[in-house]
Amino acid sequence: MADSTVEAAHDVPHRGHDTREAVLFGGVYGAVLASSLVAALTQHGHSSAASRRYDALWVLVTAFASALAHGYAHYIAERGPRRHWTSLRALANEWPLIAAVLPTVFILAGAGWGWWPPTEVEEPAFLLNIAILFTLGVITARGSRRHWPAALLLGLGDALLGVIVVVANALIK
């Protein structure tokens, strides 16, 4: 009896995470990753336009590498039979991580292109990523039918992850 249940479970195609869950996971991971990278890349005092373009490229490369590693880990951890294109679908499901780092890439690249001072990117990047974390928390909580007070509290909890990066950056410097 148990064997037939296990076999039946393997016949059901894997649906993966729902979109809301994937956006929250990838978005939170991407925003924290972007803040951490900005903190690390600005630590060494390189603040020329050229270094900001370099920083933007490294944030993007790191995000793609992280997305590939995370998607690959999901693919490998998947149990049961695999269908054609499953590996590519696992990688494509990591788009929220990439999307979450793009605003930081834009801030860094914009400084590299002379749109704003290259020495003044750290604070706007941190604030933007904290806002992204807050928004993701609120939207996800509201999508889960939580009331506004609970959704705002969860948004603040997500934003706290970004604040932790800012505080750690200040303490480490």
Distance between CA atoms of residues 5 and 102, nearest Å:
44
Looking at 13-22, 65-74, 120-129, which range is the least confident one?
13-22
Identify the CA nearest to 154 among candidates 127, 134, 130: 134
CB 59 within 8 A of CB 104: yes
Average pLDDT over the chain reads 85
Six-digit token string for 22? 């994937």
Give how far Cα 8 sits from Cα of 76, 81, 86, Å: 21, 12, 19
- For residue 46, how far is the Cα from the chain centroid? 25
Residue 167: pLDDT band by 50, 70, 90 thresholds? very high
pTM of the predicted protein model? 0.83
Q: For 24-53, how does the pLDDT look when each residue is reduced to its tens digit (9 = 90+)?
A: 889 999 999 999 999 988 876 678 999 999
Res 14 pLDDT > 60: no
The pLDDT of residue 70: 87
Residue 4: pLDDT band by 50, 70, 90 thresholds? very low
Res 117 pLDDT > 60: yes
